[in-house]
A and B are shown apart, each in its own frame.
Chain A
Amino acid sequence: MPKYISEISTLFLLMLCGGFLLANNIMIIVSVIPLCLLAFGYYLKASDDVIVKKAISKNRVAVDEELEINLKVRVNSGVGPVEICDAVPAHFELVRGSNYCVLWKGFEPVEHTLSYTVKCTTSGNYFFKATLWKSRHIVCNYSIDGICENDLSVEVTPRLLQLKKVRGMSAASRVPLPEGALATMGMTTQEFKEIRQYYPGDPFKSINWKATSRNLLRGNVWPLVNEFEKEGKKTVWIFLDTSRIMAFGSNLKNVKEYSIEAVYSLSEFYLGQNCSVAFHTYGGSNVFINQGSGRQQQYKILRELMKIKYGGLPVLKPQVRIKNLEQSVYSCREFFVGLRPLFIVVTRFCTNNYDEILKGINMMSKYTMLRKGYLPSIMVVNIMGYGLMAENQYEVLASNVLEALNRVISRSIKKNCIWIDWDPAKESLTGALLKQVVAAK
């Protein structure tokens, strides 16, 4: 029962009792007004039967891709204004249309279609569960709140930053490939890679007859063969910082999201180069994906990246100690035996993590190749986030000063690794990598 009704009832009884007590006809007559309100409130109902059918254009989108949402709203009962608001998860930006509308419900049922487009700004799994509605009573001062639920969800994958431009300049670039140059034409493993078209020389036993017969129906006569991963791949270890330092920026633009994009793009690049990629996080969550190659590995990394973003930092048990970069590298030392991997650290450098990065790099140097005159195979991608928060020229100036300060502080670390400063507000990751190439020349 709305509070309003109890108030009206009380008012009526007070006026009536007062009227009788003072023997006042006027008060008794006026007490009919709250009674009328009570009757109107009951017999002229506010809308309470709202049905919402929701549809989304895609179930899987990449960051910055647009998603269209359509709602069909039907209000069956009651009279009065009805407000409909479709709840959009955080990190989504409204591009076109509106997720809010108001309707007038007369004595007949009313239908309305609501369409809007949102842009996903951060990766993760999101649920478009709730559509909220609120109907107001036309005469009485109360409203009914309701919610229509469904089970729609969207998987937002990180944006893949294309690194193709860098590939052609590998000879000039100090953006390295792993130096543990083991043969890529090694023994076949049991790890499935892909189904591809048959080429002369392929063994007959590798033909996938089921897939070939399906392909035949499509008019392609060439057989298809199963391809498995080869042994002896070059190895890349990617370490992602998930500490609080990375939680810098707004909901829509933040360092964490750019770091995930960088990891995803670099892993895609190196897997495309037929390397074996391992992924490890430190500083907050403790995700570890052992080295592997192929699309399956890419998918594994993507899945974990989305969890990091979606779930935020996991609640660690008191006995579980958060590992820093040095400890993470040390804990994986048995995997480096016989390899000379390339280490990639994706972090946001500031004075607080200077020691951590320095110690981590020193630890990595023990496991990677050291050639005279060459830098060790350690690459640090420093995401400079100050620019993301700058809104006016003074803040831009302040962010430039802070970045310059960081450059000065990081000078001693830069001697021991390949250092890439990436400012997502100003340039793409490819741009940052190319700048490094130009500097190397």
Chain B
Amino acid sequence: MKNLTMILKITFALVAYILSFTLLYYTPVYQEFVYALNSPVRALIVVNVINLVVIAVGYKKILLMVNIVCMVISTPSLLFHSKLIMRAFDFQPDHFMPDYVTAFIFLIIVILLMAARWLERLENQTNQMISDGALEDDVNLIRINSLKIYPAFFGLILILCVSLILLGFIAPNIIASKYILIIMAVTGITLIVGSVFYLYRKWVKK
């Protein structure tokens, strides 16, 4: 069971890193870098070596470093899909990965990194319990039940976010009047912010 969590954790972190690098690859920044080095292979090696060095520097908290590196290298892709930046630097969105694909990949990266962190936390907690004198069977039960609940949570988040992605990228294509669009946007924002304040207030009251 312990090996399984370890393998899952490494796999998640590795896949997240590969996906992050894929996002980076399809950005103008990386293409400029390739152009500067005059070799795609050399650029690939240089970027990965830099990332590995950064991860190795914080080897004691390796997963945290992987998280930081993944977020840093996927940020350019995210930013180049911002309308503000596209207009400011006069980029053509056709040159990049489609925005719904970027959104989906970014979502997968976030979920994989979260899952890896949670598995690490679970491992630390169970190790702590065993060292405190808990029975192996009880700890295994906790481990199994936690591993059952995590996929359910991630599945729910994935479904919710994918439906939002679909909605987010279909909605702009709907031909509607200006007022309807404004009403839709205001309703969406109010719903989200309202639910956050509702939950936050509930927590504060508790």
Query: Which residues from chain A sit less than 8 Å from chain B, CB to CB?
Result: 1-2, 5, 9, 12-13, 16, 20-33, 35-36, 38-42, 79, 81, 83, 85, 98, 100-104, 106, 136, 138-139, 141
> Across the interface, do B138 and A103 meet the contact criterion of CB distance under 8 Å?
yes
A36 nearest in chain B by CB position: B157
Number of contacting residues on B, CB 8 A? Answer: 50
> Across the interface, do B134 and A101 meet the contact criterion of CB distance under 8 Å?
yes
Query: Is there a chain A Cβ closer than 8 Å to B202's Cβ?
Result: yes
> Across the interface, do A36 and B142 meet the contact criterion of CB distance under 8 Å?
no
Complex: how many Å from CA A287 to CA B8? 66
Q: Quick one: which of A12, A85, A106 has the most chain B CB within 10 A?
A: A12
Q: Which of B25-33, B36-44, B102-110, B175-183 contacts A (4 or more CB under 8 A)?
A: B102-110
Additional 9 contacts, C-beta under 8 A, given A26-B81, A81-B142, A104-B138: A13-B196, A21-B84, A26-B102, A29-B164, A31-B192, A32-B192, A101-B134, A102-B139, A102-B142
B103 nearest in chain A by CB position: A26
> Across the interface, do A36 and B82 meet the contact criterion of CB distance under 8 Å?
no
> Across the interface, do A26 and B125 meet the contact criterion of CB distance under 8 Å?
no
Complex: how many Å from CA A16 to CA B200? 16
Q: Quick one: which of B121, B142, B195 has the most chain A CB within 10 A?
A: B142
Give, as a whole number of angstroms, the nearest-CB distance from A43 to chain B.
9
Q: Which residues of B contact A35 (CB under 8 A)?
A: 192, 195-196, 199
> Across the interface, do A83 and B81 meet the contact criterion of CB distance under 8 Å?
no
> Across the interface, do A81 and B196 meet the contact criterion of CB distance under 8 Å?
no
Interchain CB contact (< 8 A) of A23 among B82, B138, B145: B82
> Across the interface, do B157 and A33 meet the contact criterion of CB distance under 8 Å?
yes
Task: Count contacts between A and B, CB distance < 8 Å.
Answer: 121
User: A25-B169, A29-B164, A81-B125 are known contacts. Are A16 and B192 too (CB-CB below 8 A)?
Assistant: yes
> Across the interface, do B196 and A38 meet the contact criterion of CB distance under 8 Å?
yes
Complex: how many Å from CA A21 to CA B121? 34
Complex: how many Å from CA A13 to CA B193? 8
Q: Which residues of B contact A16 (CB under 8 A)?
A: 192-193
A139 nearest in chain B by CB position: B153
User: A33-B110, A83-B129 are known contacts. Are A26 and B138 too (CB-CB below 8 A)?
Assistant: no
Interchain CB contact (< 8 A) of A32 among B125, B133, B134, B160: B160
Q: Which residues of B contact A103 (CB under 8 A)?
A: 138
A97 nearest in chain B by CB position: B133
Mostly helix, strand, loop or mixed at chain B's interface?
helix
Give, as a whole number of angstroms, the nearest-CB distance from A111 to chain B.
14
Query: Is there a chain A Cβ closer than 8 Å to B149's Cβ?
Result: yes
User: A24-B78, A24-B82 are known contacts. Are A36 and B129 too (CB-CB below 8 A)?
Assistant: no
Chosen A-B contacts, 10 in total, with CB atoms closer than 8 Å, are A29-B107, A30-B103, A30-B161, A31-B192, A39-B195, A81-B125, A81-B146, A100-B133, A106-B145, A138-B149
Give, as a whole number of angstroms, the nearest-CB distance from B113 to chain A.
11
> Across the interface, do B84 and A42 meet the contact criterion of CB distance under 8 Å?
no
B141 nearest in chain A by CB position: A104
Query: Is there a chain A Cβ closer than 8 Å to B54's Cβ?
Result: no
Q: Which residues of A contact B192 (CB under 8 A)?
A: 16, 31-32, 35
Query: Is there a chain A Cβ closer than 8 Å to B2's Cβ?
Result: no
Give, as a whole number of angstroms, the nearest-CB distance from A21 to chain B.
7
B111 nearest in chain A by CB position: A33
Q: Which residues of B contact A136 (CB under 8 A)?
A: 125
Complex: how many Å from CA A29 to CA B110? 12
Give, as a whole number of angstroms, the nearest-CB distance from A317 to chain B.
43
Complex: how many Å from CA A7 to CA B160? 22
> Across the interface, do B82 and A100 meet the contact criterion of CB distance under 8 Å?
no
A40 nearest in chain B by CB position: B153
Query: Is there a chain A Cβ closer than 8 Å to B79's Cβ?
Result: yes
Query: Is there a chain A Cβ closer than 8 Å to B85's Cβ?
Result: yes
Q: Which residues of A contact B111 (CB under 8 A)?
A: 33
Query: Is there a chain A Cβ closer than 8 Å to B45's Cβ?
Result: no
Give, as a whole number of angstroms, the nearest-CB distance from A4 to chain B.
10
> Across the interface, do B196 and A24 meet the contact criterion of CB distance under 8 Å?
no
